Amino acid sequence: MRTISAIGIFAIAVAPAFAQAPTTAQARDMAATCANCHGTNGVSSGGTDSLAGVPKAETARKMREYKAGNRPSTVMQQLAKGFTDEQIDAMAAWFAAQPAK
């Protein structure tokens, strides 16, 4: 009985997160807002770090550090604050899948 109700609570807690997870197309559109500074498809032409091909976990961790103010930043803290954790994960996954030139 306890197990069944625990599963029920788990399903309720997890369902909204899945419902809000951005699609790949939405992730690509969000990632396009990074292109001015990090290059087309995350391949930087210098000045900033490339995001293309960087493991998802690394980009997601850095974005969360910016968001929390735990990573030195000029612009990224402000930018990172504008994204939910689900959006950060989706963008990080999208960049990880781009070829690093």
Q: For binding to ligand HEC (CB under 6 A), which residues are involved?
A: 33-34, 36-38, 48-49, 51, 59, 62-63, 73-76, 79, 91
| Integer Cα distance of 4 and 95 in angstroms | 39
> Residue 67 to residues 6, 59, 81, 101: CA-CA distances in angstroms?
32, 12, 5, 28
What's the min distance (Å) between Cβ of 48 and ligand HEC?
5
For 10, the token pair is: 């788990």
CB nearer to ligand HEC: pick between 5 and 94: 94
CB nearer to ligand HEC: pick between 59 and 98: 59
